[in-house]
Every structure is written in C-alpha cells, then in structure tokens.
C-alpha cells in the first residue's frame, strides 16, 4: 500500500484538460511544499515534470502545472496530446519514516 493515494486511471480527449490528484497527510503533502510529479512511459525511466508543488524543470511544457490544497496535490495537464499518455507518479518529502514517499501511480489514457 502506497503512502500517497492516486486514482488508478484517468482519461481525456485531445485538447481537453485533466487533473490527477495525490492525497497524503499533514506529515507529507500537507506539511511541506515538496511535492513532485513524474511521467513514465512503458519500459522507460521516470521523468521529473513538476517539483516543489508547482515548479517546472527546464524543458517541461507549460501545459503541465501543479498545485496543492491541504493534504491533496494535483497535476493538471492542459491541451491533452496523444504523447501525454503515460503513467504519472506523485512523490512528497515526509517527516515520518523515510524522507520520500510515492503515490501508487495513475495511468493516463488519451482517448
């Protein structure tokens, strides 16, 4: 069982916007602005898309954005494209046990 809770799957049509939620506790998501999001294609290594809740690494499209409210963080992808179809994982710094926890992952399907 993952420490952070994500929906198993989400879907959307090209051009639409979708949001993926990531729910934790006050010891992780709610207590620190250190939530990150990763995109992973089958057979490939994860790629950092968002860090520190809402910051984008260089080279990441501004169609990807992050936010947080209370114990829940969200990744929003606007203007969905076929290439966005992948698995997405959230992660957070945590003050309990290990310093990093992951969500279980969300499979994004572009219809």
Partner 1 sequence: QLQLQESGPGLVKPSETLSLTCIVSGGSISSGSYYWGWIRQPPGQGLEWIGNISDSGSTYYNPSLKSRVTISVDTSKKQFSLQLSSVTAADTAVYYCARQLSGTYHSDFWGQGTLVTVSS
Binding site for partner 1 (CB under 8 A): 2, 34, 36, 38, 44-48, 51-52, 57, 89, 91, 93, 97-105
Pick the closer one to partner 1 by CB: 79 or 99. 99
Burial class (CB in 10 A: 0-12, 13-18, 19+), 57: exposed
Least gap, CB of 107 to partner 1 (angstroms): 11
Distances (CA, A) of 69 to 31, 39, 72: 11, 22, 5
Pick the closer one to partner 1 by CB: 57 or 70. 57
Least gap, CB of 82 to partner 1 (angstroms): 23
Least gap, CB of 50 to partner 1 (angstroms): 9
- 26, 15, 7, 14: which is closest to 75 by C-alpha? 7
Give the integer Cα–Cα distance in Å for 102 and 111.
Answer: 27
Least gap, CB of 77 to partner 1 (angstroms): 19
Pick the closer one to partner 1 by CB: 15 or 56. 56
Give the integer Cα–Cα distance in Å for 4 and 27.
Answer: 11
């Amino acid at each position: 069982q993952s420490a952070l809770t994500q929906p198993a799957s989400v879907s959307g049509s090209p051009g639409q916007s979708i949001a993926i939620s990531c729910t934790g506790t006050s010891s992780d998501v709610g207590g620190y602005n250190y939530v990150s999001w990763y995109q992973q294609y089958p057979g490939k290594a994860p790629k950092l898309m968002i860090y520190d809740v809402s910051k984008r690494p260089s080279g990441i499209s501004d169609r990807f954005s992050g936010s947080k409210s209370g114990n829940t963080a969200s990744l929003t992808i606007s203007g969905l494209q076929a290439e966005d179809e992948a698995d997405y994982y959230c992660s957070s710094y945590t003050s309990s046990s290990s310093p990093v926890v992951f969500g279980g992952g969300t499979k994004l399907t572009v219809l």
